[in-house]
Amino acid sequence: MKPRLIDKVRQRLAYVLYFNEWHKKEFERAQWLTPIELQHLREKKLKRIVKSAVETVPFYRNLGLNIDFEKFTLSELMKFPVIDKDIIRKNPKLFISEKHKGIISQTSGSSGVPFQFYVPYESASIEKITFSRAWAMGKQYKYSYGDPVVMLRSYSPKKGEPLWYKDTANNFYFLSPFHINPENLSDYLKVIKQSGTKILRGYPSSLYIFTLLLKSNNIKLSGIEVLITSSETLLPHFRDEIEQYFGIEVLDWYGQNENTVTVQQCWAGNYHNNDDYGILELNSQNQIIATSLNNDVMPFIRYNTKDKAIPFDQLQTPCLCGRSFSVPFKAIEGRTEDILIKFDGTLIPTANFSTAMKVFTLIEQYQIIQHIGKDITLNLVTKTKDEVYLQQIKDEITQRLGEVSITIKLVDEIKRDMKTGKVKVAIQEGKIV
pLDDT average, residue stretch 404-423? 74
Which residue type, as a one-letter code, is found at position 396? E
Query: Which residues are registered as beta bridge partners of 331?
Result: 310
Q: How many CB atoms lie within 10 A of CB 257?
A: 15
Shared domain check, 12 and 121: yes
Percent of the chain, pLDDT > 90?
Answer: 64
The model's pTM: 0.81
Question: Minimal CA–CA distance to 39: which of 319, 281, 337, 324?
Answer: 324
Q: Which of 248, 282, 310 is the last residue of a domain?
A: 248
Among 213, 232, 248, give the residue marking a domain's end. 248
8 vs 377: which has the higher pLDDT: 377
Q: Both 122 and 23 in a single domain?
A: yes
Residue 178 belongs to domain spanning: 140-248
pLDDT single digits (tens) 82-134: 999 999 999 999 999 999 999 988 775 545 566 889 999 999 999 999 999 99
In whole angstroms, what is the distance from residue 233 CA to residue 254 CA?
9
Say yes or no to pLDDT of 372 above 50: yes
For residue 433, being part of any structural domain is answered with no
Q: Is residue 68 part of a domain?
A: yes
Q: How many domains does the chain have?
A: 3
C-alpha pair distances (Å), 429 with each of 175, 275, 373, 375: 27, 40, 9, 10
**Position 179 in a domain:** yes
Same domain, 173 and 269: no
CATH number at residue 398: 3.30.300.30
Over residues 188-212, the pLDDT tens digits come to 999 999 999 999 999 888 898 899 9
For residues 411 and 386, membership in a common domain is answered with: yes
Residues 53 and 112 in one domain: yes
16, 126: one domain: yes
Using an 8 Å Cβ cutoff, are 147 and 171 in contact? yes
Note whether 279 and 304 are same-domain residues.
yes
pLDDT higher than threshold 80 for residue 247: yes
My answer on whether 69 and 178 are in the same domain is no
CA distance 230 to 154: 11
Q: Mark whether 41 and 99 lie in a shared domain.
A: yes
CATH number, domain of 218, equals 3.40.50.980
3-state secondary structure (DSSP) of residue 271? strand
